[in-house]
Each structure stands twice: as structure tokens, then as C-alpha cells.
Amino acid sequence: MQPYARRGVHGQTVETLARKILSGSLPQGATLDMPALQQEMDVSLTALRESLKVLAAKGMVDARQKRGTFVRPRAQWNLLDADVLRWQFASSTGSAVDVALLRNLGEVRGIVEPAAVRLAAERRTDADLQALATALEAMGREGDAAHAIEADLAFHRALLTATHNELLERMEMVIESGLAHRDQIVHSAPHSEDPVPSHQAVLDAVRAGDPDAAEQAMKSLLAQAMRDLDKIHGSSDDKDTQDQ
């Protein structure tokens, strides 16, 4: 499912409701007090109901006769939905939940991307190689964290596109949610490793049409990504210990 448009009253209402659920302000199993929410958020009942339809489609709420609209258990949420992932990161930045979620997504990437890059090495076109090279070139240019994040996202998006498998291409929405948040943490911190060499190794193997080398290069890239994250959180933990 495509992420919904976040603009206007509708988008703001969806975001607010989602964050209330994720923060526990609206706990799992709770039945929503629609008039109270309408008054608190200063929106029409129609706008509130339309926003809840978005969350219902993502498995976060449901409505039953005689019970009303209620928050579903987390186990029933569409956790791989790009918006649900983004909301989780937005509501838990810097927390243990945040790190755990990044690690879970890292494991998903470790399963998906090495296999995907094998297909990319076998199926890539000249246009795919150009897209990868353009993203890598952008990655090597000086810029702020936002520039680095966009270049990294463009590279991994191009890799999934190069598989020419439309279902794998859809994994872009899952991978990008975690990758963007991980990059925000890493690129905002000093002394992170240069990402260009590891990405260059992936591109070289894909360009050479070598699936085995491409898979190994991707595994090395993902290992570096986790090292960067561990280094930052390890430094943070060390500082906290020293401050105590």
C-alpha cells in the first residue's frame, strides 16, 4: 500500500491518532471515545472517521457493532507498512524500542538484499547501472545529512529496481523506512565510516554480472551498517555510564 498523503487536516489527524496509539495514550484494546477525540483534536466527526479508516487499513484499529472503534493488538498491525514503520521511529527516537526496531529491520535487510542483489547482477540493464552510478556519485559528494540519506536511499532503490521483480521492488517501502532512520542517526554523528567503498564494491560486482561477488559485497555493506549503529549507541552508552 502506498503511504497516504500527509498534507492538510486529514493527514495531520491520521498522524496524531497514530502517535497516540504508538505512545500508549490510546492503549491496545481501548475503545475510542469519538466525541472526546473530536473535541480534543478540533476536527469534524467526518474527518475523524476518515482518518480512522486509514489506520484500520493498516491493522491498527477496528470497529465492531456494540463495541465501537477500538485499538487492535500490536500483533495484528501491519508492521511492514511504510507509514507504521515511520510512525514507530517518530514516536520512539533514541529509545531501546528504536534500536530494537532498527535491528529487526537490519535482519530483514540481511535476508532480502543479498538475495536481491544476486538477481540485480544477473538482470541489470544499462539504465540500472546508470542509476546506481548516479546514486553512488551523489553519495561521494559533500553535503549535509539529508543529502547523504537521499543518495543512500537512491542507491538501494536502484538495486531493487534492477532485480526486475515487481514484488522485490515493493520491498523498497519497507527497507527505506529503516534505512532513512538509520542514516539519520549515523550521518548526524561524527566519525562514521565512509559508505562509498562498500557501495562501490556492490556496484562493481553488479556491473560485472557476478552474483556471488555481489552477494558478498552486500553482506559486507550491511555488516558495516550495523557496526556504524553499534559504534554510535555504544558511544552513547559509554557517555551515560560516565555521567552517572
Assess whether pLDDT exceeds 90 at residue 148.
Answer: no
- Establish how many alpha carbons lie within 13 A of residue 165's alpha carbon, considering only the half-sphere containing its beta carbon: 18
Q: Looking up cell 547482477, which residue turns up? A: 121
Residue 242, pLDDT score: 41
**What is the spatial distance between Cα 214 and Cα 212, in angstroms, rounded to a whole number?**
5
Contact status, residue 34 vs residue 69, Cβ threshold 8 Å? yes
Do 28 and 53 meet the contact criterion of CB atoms below 8 Å apart?
no
Q: What is the per-residue pLDDT for 176?
A: 83
Listed range (130-134, 166-170, 172-176, 207-211) with the worst mean pLDDT = 172-176
Residue pLDDT, tens place only, 52-97: 999 999 999 999 998 999 999 999 999 888 899 888 887 765 555 5
Q: List, in sequence order, every beta strand (DSSP E) within the chain.
A: 61-64, 68-71
Q: Residue 9 and residue 19: Cα distance in Å, rounded?
A: 15
Round to the nearest angstrom and report the end-to-end CA distance of the chain: 46
Using pLDDT thresholds of 50, 70 and 90, give the confidence band for residue 119: very high
Residue bearing the bigger pLDDT, 119 or 66 = 119
Q: Check whether 111 has a pLDDT greater than 90.
A: yes
pLDDT, position 244: 41
- The whole-angstrom separation of Cα 78 and Cα 58 is 5
58, 65 in Cβ contact below 8 A? no
Cα-based distances in Å from 126 to 130, 201, 211: 6, 18, 17
* pLDDT higher than 50, residue 238: no
> What is the grid cell recorded at 164?
526486475
What's the rounded mean pLDDT across residues 130-159?
A: 91
Q: Which pLDDT does position 231 carry in this prediction? A: 73
Listed residue (186, 166, 194, 198) closest to 231, CA to CA? 186
> Which of 54-58, 100-104, 158-162 is predicted least confidently?
100-104
